[in-house]
Structures are given as structure tokens and as C-alpha cells.
């Protein structure tokens, strides 16, 4: 026996399902041989009917099937419109295609995770949404072969669990294939961060303490050393110990970010005064042209954040741009614009760019395109932006690289 409260929850769920089915603007019949049940609804009364399958029906149906009346082809488009609003509330991917692979329904989550406009992708082929070869598209394979997939693990660039289901016309031909994809990239990323946290804790304990001891002894030995040895200690040995400590600190900040002390400030003040003052002094020193362009709508825009941490992000980007400069003079452009309820800041350079095979990994810890790089600068930068409830992405070609950072806008009292 199920607990009384669980039974009550099941009754409510069943009632909600009945109400949902009653609202569908099309007649249908759903056959489930495993549970020996049939669910059907006609447009006349609008109420779903659940009944047990007859012996003949059980023999005729070996798989679950959904049949639509032949007269319902046009009204099924109404059904998809009805379902679209409901499926937009689902946090996973739901896509309908016809027998040719053309998308007829795509929920907002699927469009968002694939970086496309939902209204634009309707009517396009499935490959244009997923961006992988046709032979790897299991939903398309279901349309082609009639074979449905149940809890199929997908291990391409989009990690998750896929299910496909066929909607058939009354004559048995395929009307739609439904693909539902449980998008697990975020969970996978969280697992990576958890592993990184455990590694970081071990690093901090096993390496940092001995380094502190070594640095202390070097300081003591330096005082009694001859001038040449003292210079070696001061210019090489102690700085290398400090560099190793910084690597550990950076890695710890990725794995276990600390609470940030935030304040609300105008992006104009930050870019033109706080960051601009530092960047322009660096630009004079290294012969770099720095341009700051703030859209009129963004001049009064404010964000919530920590100025010192954001300075660290932009100075790291400046350093990366300088190291990737070509023979031509380096030009860096900072722009700020408001898009909806977000503020976008772009950092663009005219450097040598990042090769396509590397661009997808540049935010991974310890990945570097430089021989002397630790591969932590961009990882730390991205984590700082995410701690500000923002996002960070990059685009690059032979003409240079652009980093995009988006932050939620806030209203209130501003600091300068």
C-alpha cells in the first residue's frame, strides 16, 4: 500500500493529466500494450476515456503508439501551438519533426541551449538546430527507420539522455517524431567543479604549507648570503615560490570561489575611470591603442559587483591581447551596450586570434595556447563573471578575438 499522502498526490496528478488531455484541440488514441490500456478522446465531448485493451487489441499492438484521426491533420497544428506554451516551461529539450526531419515544434530551452532563435528554427531541418551530421541524429533515425529510442545516452558535444516517440496517422504512417533530450551538460560541469574542489583542497594542504616553509627559510638565508647569492634569491628563487603560490591560489578560486563583497556602480564610472585609468597607463607604456565606447543607453546602466575582481578580469584580457599581438600596432576596443535586462561589455582586440580547435577549451583550467602560460587566467576570469551572475564567451578569427561579458542590470543608489 502507498502512503495516504502519496496516493493523494497521484490522484491530483491523474486529474491534472485528464484536464490537460481534455484541452487538446485534436482527437487521438494512445495504446500502451505493456499496461494493457488505451486512452482516447474525441473532439465531440472533449473528455479522455481510459479502458483496458481487448485480447485482439493486445495481439495487434506490440509497441506503444499514438494515433491521430485522418481528419485531424490540420487541427494537429493547433495541438502543437497548444503544447508549445506548455513545453516552454520544461527545463529540457523537446523537439517535434515531421517525417522529413523538418522541425515543427521546438521549446525555448532547446533553442536557448543551441543558441538559436526559436521562431526562426521552426520549419528548418533538425541538423540546423543540433549542428551535427545527419547520421548522428537519433530523432532523424527514428523518422527514417521507425525505431524508437528509450533512455539512450548521448555523448557528443551535447551530453544527456534522449527518448524518441512516434505519432502516427490512422493509416500507420508517421505524422511526427517527438525527441525529448535531458540536457545534462550543466550537471556534468558541476561534477567537474566538485572534482576540482577536492583536488584543490589536496593541493592547498600538500603543497602550499611546504612552500611557505621553504620561502621562510629562503628569506632567512638571503640575509646572510653574499651580494650575488642575495640577488639570486631576490630575483629568481623567492619570486618562483610566489608564482607557485599564485597558481595554487588561482586554482582554489576556480574550485571554491569565495563570497564576493559587492556594491552597485555605474558601468560608465567603472570603464572610464577605474579601469580606463589603469588601461591607458598600460597602453602608454606598451604602445597600445585603447578605445572605450559606451552606448548612450548604457551610460546610466548599473551592475552589482566587486570592482577589484572585475579589474582582475579586464587586466588579464589586456595581458592576453598584448601577448597575442601581431606586428601591427595593437588596438583594443571596449564597448558597453544594454540588451533587454542585461548589460553586455565586449573586449575586442586585433591580435593573432585563437585557432578554432582551441577556442572551445580556453576557459578550461590549465588549458593554454602559450608555452609559458598556466592556463588559469581565463578560467579564473570566467568564474569571477559567473560569481557576478553573469556569462562570459568568446569569438575569434584571424583578425582578432572578442570576449563578451553579460551582467544583470540593477537599479538603486550607485557608488562612484
pLDDT of residue 2: 45
Pairing label, strands 331-339, 289-294: parallel
Please tell me which residue, 130 or 200, carries the higher pLDDT value. 130
- Does 67 have pLDDT greater than 80? no
Determine the pLDDT at residue 347: 96
Cα 389 from Cα 404, distance rounded (Å): 14
User: What residues form DSSP beta bridges with 266?
Assistant: 302
266 and 414 Cβ atoms separated by less than 8 Å: yes
In the structure, what pLDDT confidence band is assigned to residue 164 with cuts at 50, 70 and 90?
A: very high
Q: Are 261 and 296 in contact (CB under 8 A)?
A: no
pLDDT band (50, 70, 90) for residue 337:
very high
pLDDT, residue 348, reads 95
Name which residue leads in pLDDT, 253 or 85: 85
329 vs 286, 321, 394, CA distance in Å?
Answer: 10, 12, 22
Confidence band, pLDDT 50/70/90 cuts, at residue 27:
low
Q: What is the mean pLDDT of residues 239-268?
A: 75
- For residue 50, pLDDT beyond 70: no
User: What value does the mean pLDDT take over residues 260-273?
Assistant: 88
pLDDT exceeds cutoff 60 at 13: no
Give the model's confidence band at 314: pLDDT under 50 very low, under 70 low, under 90 confident, else very high. very high
CA–CA gap between residue 376 and residue 247 (Å, rounded):
8
Scan for cell 564597448, then name that residue.
Answer: 335
CA distance 349 to 334: 9
Q: Which pLDDT value is given to residue 217? A: 83
The C-alpha cell of 14 is what?
Answer: 491523474
DSSP letter at 127 equals H
Give residue-wise pLDDT tens across range 348-404: 999 888 888 888 888 887 777 776 666 778 888 998 899 899 999 999 988 899 999
- What letters, b where the CB count within 10 A reaches 16 and e where it falls short, cover 387-410? bbebebebebeeebbbbebbbebb
Distance CA 69, CA 77 (A): 13
pLDDT of residue 245: 78
Identify the H or E element spanning 3. none
User: φ, ψ for residue 178 (rounded to 5)?
Assistant: -100, 125
Q: Which of 185, 183, 190 is nearest to 163 (CA)?
A: 183
340 compared with 337, residue with greater pLDDT: 337
Least confident range of 210-219, 261-270, 312-321: 210-219
Distance CA 112, CA 115 (A): 5
Q: Which residues contact 2 (CB under 8 A, 6 or more apart)?
A: 10
Residue 221, number of CB atoms within 10 A of its CB: 13
Please list the residues that pair with 169 across neighbouring strands: 68
Beta bridge partners of 155: 159
Half-sphere exposure of 232 (CA within 13 A, CB side): 7
| Best CA proximity match to 168, nearest among 42, 63, 32, 66 | 66
Q: Residue 322 — pLDDT band, cuts 50, 70, 90? A: confident
Map out the domains of the chain with their CATH numbers: 19-183 (3.30.450.20), 187-255 (1.10.287), 263-408 (3.30.565.10)
98-157 pLDDT, tens digit each: 989 999 999 988 888 888 888 889 999 999 998 888 888 899 999 999 999 988 887 766
The residue ranges of DSSP E strands in 63-172, in sequence order, are 65-68, 93-97, 103-106, 152-155, 159-169
Mean pLDDT to the nearest integer, 333-357: 91
402 phi and psi angles, rounded to 5 deg: -125, 130
Q: Which residue has the higher pLDDT, 6 or 380?
A: 380
- Compute the distance between CA of residue 36 and CA of residue 45 in angstroms, rounded to an integer: 24
Amino acid at each position: 500500500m502507498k502512503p495516504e499522502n502519496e496516493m493523494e498526490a497521484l490522484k491530483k496528478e491523474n486529474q491534472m493529466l485528464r484536464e490537460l488531455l481534455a484541452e487538446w484541440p485534436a482527437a487521438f488514441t494512445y495504446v500502451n500494450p505493456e499496461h494493457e490500456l488505451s486512452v482516447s478522446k474525441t473532439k465531440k465531448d472533449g473528455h479522455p476515456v481510459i479502458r483496458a485493451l481487448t485480447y485482439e487489441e493486445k495481439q495487434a499492438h506490440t509497441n506503444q503508439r499514438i494515433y491521430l484521426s485522418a481528419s485531424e491533420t490540420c487541427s494537429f497544428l493547433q495541438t502543437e501551438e497548444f503544447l508549445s506554451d506548455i513545453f516552454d516551461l520544461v527545463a529540457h529539450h523537446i523537439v517535434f519533426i515531421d517525417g522529413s526531419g523538418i522541425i515543427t515544434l521546438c521549446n525555448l530551452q532547446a533553442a536557448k541551449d543551441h543558441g538559436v532563435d526559436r521562431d526562426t528554427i521552426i520549419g528548418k531541418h533538425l541538423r540546423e538546430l543540433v549542428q551535427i551530421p545527419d547520421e548522428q541524429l537519433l530523432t532523424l533515425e527514428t523518422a527514417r527507420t521507425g525505431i524508437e529510442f528509450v533512455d539512450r545516452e548521448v555523448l557528443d558535444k551535447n551530453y544527456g539522455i534522449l527518448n524518441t516517440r512516434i505519432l502516427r496517422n490512422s493509416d500507420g504512417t508517421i505524422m511526427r517524431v517527438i525527441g525529448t533530450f535531458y540536457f545534462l551538460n550543466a550537471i556534468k560541469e558541476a561534477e567537474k567543479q566538485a572534482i576540482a574542489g577536492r583536488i584543490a583542497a589536496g593541493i592547498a594542504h600538500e603543497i602550499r604549507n611546504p612552500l611557505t616553509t621553504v620561502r621562510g627559510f629562503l628569506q632567512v638565508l638571503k640575509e646572510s648570503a653574499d651580494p650575488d647569492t642575495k640577488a639570486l634569491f631576490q630575483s629568481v628563487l623567492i619570486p618562483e615560490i610566489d608564482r607557485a603560490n599564485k597558481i595554487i591560489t588561482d586554482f582554489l578560486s576556480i574550485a571554491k570561489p569565495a563570497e564576493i563583497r559587492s556594491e552597485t556602480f555605474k558601468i560608465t564610472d567603472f570603464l572610464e575611470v577605474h579601469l580606463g585609468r589603469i588601461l591607458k597607463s598600460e597602453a602608454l607604456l606598451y604602445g597600445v591603442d585603447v578605445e572605450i565606447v559606451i552606448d548612450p543607453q548604457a551610460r546610466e546602466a548599473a551592475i552589482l559587483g566587486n570592482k577589484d575582481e572585475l579589474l582582475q578580469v579586464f587586466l588579464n584580457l589586456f595581458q592576453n591581447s598584448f601577448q597575442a599581438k601581431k606586428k601591427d600596432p595593437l588596438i583594443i576596443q571596449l564597448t558597453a551596450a544594454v540588451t533587454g535586462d542585461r548589460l553586455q561589455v565586449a573586449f575586442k582586440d586585433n591580435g593573432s586570434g585563437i585557432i578554432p580547435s582551441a577556442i572551445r577549451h580556453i576557459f578550461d583550467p590549465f588549458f593554454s595556447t602559450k608555452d609559458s602560460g598556466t592556463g588559469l587566467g581565463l578560467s579564473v576570469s570566467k568564474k569571477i563573471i559567473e560569481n557576478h551572475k553573469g556569462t562570459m564567451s568568446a569569438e575569434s578569427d584571424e583578425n582578432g578575438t572578442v570576449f563578451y561579458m553579460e551582467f544583470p542590470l540593477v537599479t538603486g543608489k550607485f557608488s562612484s
